[in-house]
Amino acid sequence: MIRRNFISLDICGGELRGVALRRQGTKTVVLTGAKTTPLPENTWALSVRDANILDRPRFIAAVKATLDPLAGGEDRIALSLPDPIGRILMTEVDSTFKSRQEGVEVVKWQLKKSFPAEAKDMQLDYQVLEKTEAGRYRLLVSMIVRSVLHQYEEVLSEAGYHPVLVDFHSPNLYNYYRSRLDLGNDFILVGIDGNQLGLQFFQGKKPCFHRHKRVVAAPAEVFKEINMSFASIRENYPGFQRAAVFLHCDWAERGALIDALKAAFERDVIVLDPKVERLVVKPLSYGVAVSPNLAAAIGAAERLM
């Protein structure tokens, strides 16, 4: 029996990270291929409003170099985009919606002051998290300028691939750990990739806060940003003070960073080891080393399964 490949592409840290997964049995997931490709200088730049891809031919070549060895004829992929090019917000509404489109329009109107562009130019999706004690509905909202999203979709199409699931890096990183670790009911997930800082707070296993920020890759700057980000959360969410703190980080030297996080949160920090190598049942092709940086790419691919 030919088993289907589940392919993803995670764009993070100035490189493309691709993985191929397959099912083994009814529950086991195995990593059958992985490839990372640095993006050449002046090929790509992060922007919320403007074009991200500056050199289409070189970007397409990098996509093909990453995914072609993994795809095995599969053209459907999960696309994991950099957090800084979009927004993830929480909001509340009074009632549920008659249709998905009605919900999108209501949320657009409610959040229009938070948009980086005109409402008509925004691509938006939402997830209903829970009904509050006051009878309102809490939503998790993801948004991106439509022209920015379309540029990624177009170059992937030119490379021969079609994103059927699109999300941001941080939710895919969480998805990787969610099914592998007991993070508890109340927890904070700190994700650091180079100079990209992602902060996610969950209470009762439901997201309450998300922020992403580009920072100077120095412990003191991370400390400062965390204190600024969580200033209001500490008062509004009683679970924050007892929430466990987890760290996913690609820095080679973490000692000073961990000390800074302990000082910022006033508690111990649990450093996560994604143990990606456990998903490999035989040596990967193409001589690719299994890297912890593949966690978000794997988390994205698993959402296709």
Q: What is the pLDDT of residue 6?
A: 97
Q: What is the pLDDT of residue 181?
A: 93
Q: What is the pLDDT of residue 281?
A: 79
Question: Coil, helix or strand for 45?
Answer: coil
Q: Are 156 and 53 part of one and the same domain?
A: yes
Q: Has residue 61 been placed in a domain?
A: yes
Q: Are 159 and 280 part of one and the same domain?
A: yes
pTM of this structure: 0.94
Q: Are 152 and 255 part of one and the same domain?
A: no
The residue count of the chain comes to: 305
Q: Are 261 and 280 part of one and the same domain?
A: no
Q: Has residue 281 been placed in a domain?
A: yes
| Residue 301, CA distances (Å) to 77, 138, 247 in order | 7, 27, 22
Q: Has residue 59 been placed in a domain?
A: yes
Q: Has residue 284 been placed in a domain?
A: yes
Scored b (16 or more CB within 10 A) or e, 79-101 reads bbbbbbbbbbbeeebeeebeeee
Q: What is the pLDDT of residue 233?
A: 84
List the chain pLDDT tens, one digit each, 305 residues: 567 899 999 999 899 999 999 998 777 899 999 999 999 999 999 999 999 999 999 999 999 999 999 999 999 999 999 999 999 999 999 998 999 999 999 999 999 999 999 999 999 999 999 999 899 999 999 999 999 999 999 999 999 999 999 999 999 999 999 999 999 999 999 999 989 999 999 999 999 999 999 999 999 999 999 999 888 788 888 889 899 999 999 998 999 999 999 999 999 999 999 999 999 977 775 545 678 899 999 999 999 99
Q: Has residue 242 been placed in a domain?
A: yes
Q: Are 75 and 162 part of one and the same domain?
A: yes
Of residues 191, 239, 232, the one with CA closest to residue 215: 191
Q: Are 199 and 237 part of one and the same domain?
A: yes
Give 116: exposed, middle or buried? Use CB within 10 Å, 0-12, 13-18, 19+: middle
CATH of the domain at 215: 3.30.420.40
- Our count of domains for the chain comes to 3
Query: Which contiguous run of DSSP H or E holds residue 138?
Result: strand 137-145
Q: Has residue 232 been placed in a domain?
A: yes
Q: Are 189 and 252 part of one and the same domain?
A: yes
Q: Are 298 and 154 part of one and the same domain?
A: yes
Q: Has residue 1 been placed in a domain?
A: no
Q: Are 138 and 156 part of one and the same domain?
A: no
Residue range(s) defining the domain that contains residue 151: 6-83+146-174+275-302
Q: Are 211 and 228 part of one and the same domain?
A: yes
Q: Has residue 279 been placed in a domain?
A: yes
CATH of the domain at 127: 3.30.1490
Letter for the amino acid at 241?
Q
Q: Are 170 and 284 part of one and the same domain?
A: yes
Q: Are 98 and 63 part of one and the same domain?
A: no
